[in-house]
Chain A
Amino acid sequence: SPSAQVVHSAGRRFIVSPVPEDRLKEQ
């Protein structure tokens, strides 16, 4: 799925993507 993006007013871009597959198993 396309990753969502949020750009903060200070200019930093936050890109949301699925948690890395191999880390999900650790949860």
Chain B
Amino acid sequence: AEDTGVRVELAEEDDGKKASIALKLWVEDHKKLKGKYKESGAIEFSFDLEKDVPEVVAQEMVESGFFHESDVKTVGKSIRDRVALIKWRRARTVSAAA
């Protein structure tokens, strides 16, 4: 995944079955953000792998005051990359088991 300066990781073990998974997002490189980023902590949230859309969650984070509108694409892409990796690993585990 491209280094966007925003890190997204699993906030819990992925058993490969649950639809919603807890993710944790934080900024590793403030310089890569266009807007001023005031929150220095990690933001934990639940993501439904079937229903949720990364860019929508990113917009919710902007609306919740965590990021500036100009960074919604960067945040969305960071979430999308991590979700894609989770789905890829799940698919690989299933095919290995088959």
Binding site for B on A (CB under 8 A): 3-4, 6, 8-10, 12-20, 23, 26-27
Known: A16-B39, A16-B42. A10 touches B60 (CB 8 A): yes
Question: Interface SS of chain A: helix, strand, loop or mixed?
Answer: loop
Known: A15-B45, A16-B43, A23-B7. A6 touches B28 (CB 8 A): no
Give 21 pairs: A residue, B residue, CB < 8 Å, sorted on A.
Answer: A3-B44, A6-B64, A6-B65, A8-B63, A9-B63, A10-B60, A12-B45, A12-B57, A14-B43, A14-B44, A14-B45, A15-B43, A16-B39, A16-B42, A16-B44, A17-B41, A17-B44, A20-B42, A23-B26, A23-B28, A27-B28
A15 touches B44 (CB 8 A): yes
Q: Total contacts A to B, CB within 8 angstroms? A: 49
Q: Is the C-beta of B86 less than 8 angstroms from some C-beta in chain A?
A: no
Q: Is the C-beta of B46 less than 8 angstroms from some C-beta in chain A?
A: yes
Binding site for A on B (CB under 8 A): 7, 24, 26, 28-29, 39-46, 57, 60-61, 63-66
Question: Interface SS of chain B: helix, strand, loop or mixed?
Answer: mixed
B45 touches A18 (CB 8 A): no
